[in-house]
Structure formats: C-alpha cells, structure tokens
Amino acid sequence: MTAIRMTRKREGNRFPAGVPVIAHRLPGVAWPLLVYAAVLARPTPEAFEALFTRNRWPAAWRDGVFAFHHYHSNSHEVLGIYEGEATVQFGGEGGVQVTAKAGDVVVLAAGTAHKKLASRGALGVVGAYPEGSDPDTCRGVPGAILSIALPACDPVFGVAGPLFEQWK
C-alpha cells in the first residue's frame, strides 16, 4: 500500500494556476486517481459547489466519506474538502492512502473503490458528478475495469484541465 500525504509544497506536475497535481494509477481502474492540492485558499462548501457546477460537475451532496469500500459503476466523482482533513483509501485494501486537507480536490474515475480511514477536525466534503450522471453506489471493489466516457470538463479547470492529459 502506498501513502500520499498532501503538503502545500509539493514537487511534481504543476498545472493551471500553479496547482500541483498528483496522478496515481490504481489496478483495476481505467484512469488514474487525480489529487489537486490547495485548489482553494479559503475553501467553503459554496465555493466548491460553484467551482464544480461552473465546470459541468453539478454539486450533489455535502457530507463526509463512507467508512466502507464503495464505488460508482456508472459515473466519475469529484471530492472537494472544505473543512478538516481526511485519510481515504482508494483502490481497495491494497490501494493508495491519500490524506487530503481543506482546499484539496480528489477526482475519481468510475469504478474507483474508496473508503475513509480517518479524519481530523470536523470533516466537510462536497461531492459532485459529471453533468447528466445518475450515479449509483456499489459496496466493495469492482470485479472488472469499467468503461465510462470521459467527462466534458475537468471539474476544477474546465475544458483544458489536466484530467484530459492524465485520462488518455
């Protein structure tokens, strides 16, 4: 299992507005997990909702992350952390652990199993799905790679975002 701890000073790929992007390939998932660090300097649920909706990922919920493995077989998902800190396991029991803080965004391809392992502070997350999606919630880890079309826009950067470079 690999652990990624998000920091405000991160080496690696930088995309629009200097936001670091970490792409982590997971077994059994068509496209890599994307983590955008410190997208919002002053994160609020309303700011994430406006950002995602503007980029054709209408905000769907505010809450936390389930403490059991689950995935969406028919939709991609984006998580915007607006309060607290969460350590989430992506890709099943042998997957990667990501600790994301307020202001960070995580983009999951359809079929990416995920569960919360721990949180600090009052955890607040905005979740969204690409426009036109009707996401299901399945328990466990998918048995096969799911093939879902690319979304029309990156949830943070729009039509020219890093999602399209990473999800080729």
Please state the domain count of the chain: 1
Looking at residue 21, what is its pLDDT?
87
Q: What's 81's domain CATH number?
A: 2.60.120.10
In a domain, 20, yes or no: no
Does pLDDT of 50 surpass 70?
Answer: yes
Segment 54-83 mean pLDDT: 97
Looking at residue 6, what is its pLDDT?
41
In a domain, 2, yes or no: no
Which of 122, 120, 135, 153 shows the shortest CA–CA distance to 61? 135
In a domain, 15, yes or no: no
In a domain, 1, yes or no: no
Does pLDDT of 40 surpass 60?
Answer: yes
In a domain, 161, yes or no: yes
Stated pTM of the model: 0.90
- Supply the range of the domain harboring residue 104: 34-130+152-168
pLDDT digit string, tens, across residues 5-32: 443 333 344 445 567 889 999 988 999 9
In a domain, 4, yes or no: no
